[in-house]
Amino acid sequence: MTVSGTIKVTQAGTRVQASHKGNVKTVVFKARSDNAGDVYLGGDDVSSTAGMTLSPGESIQFQLTTPASTSQFWADAVSNNDQVDYIGSA
């Protein structure tokens, strides 16, 4: 089963949790190319100093040993309304 979604950071500096769309073993996150600045991806402690930095248009793929909920991922951003899209599969 393939799942997908978007994390929208409406207020810069405020981390936002991905919605639970299903459990995934492989997931790709991509910062939108029209984002105004960097976004940060990580767990519930993600911030500009703790997490993976994605510049506009960049992507990262995670391969997990055990399936995990998409809600285990969080994003933060430098600029208001920047977004990260994701797609994954079990």
Which pLDDT does position 73 carry in this prediction? 98
User: How far apart are the two ends of the chain, measured CA to CA in Å?
Assistant: 6
User: What pTM was estimated for this model as a whole?
Assistant: 0.94
Average pLDDT of the residues in 52-61? 98
Average pLDDT of the residues in 67-82? 98
Could you read off the pLDDT of 9-56 as tens digits, one per residue?
A: 999 999 999 999 999 999 999 999 999 999 999 999 999 999 999 999
The distance from CA 55 to its chain's CA centroid, rounded to whole angstroms, is 12
CATH class for the domain made up of 2-89? mainly beta
Which pLDDT does position 1 carry in this prediction? 87
User: By the 8 A CB rule, do 18 and 70 touch?
Assistant: yes
Average pLDDT of the residues in 72-85? 98
Residue 85's contacts (CB-CB under 8 Å, 6 or more residues apart) are 4, 5, 6, 29, 30, 32
Per domain, the residue ranges of the chain are 2-89
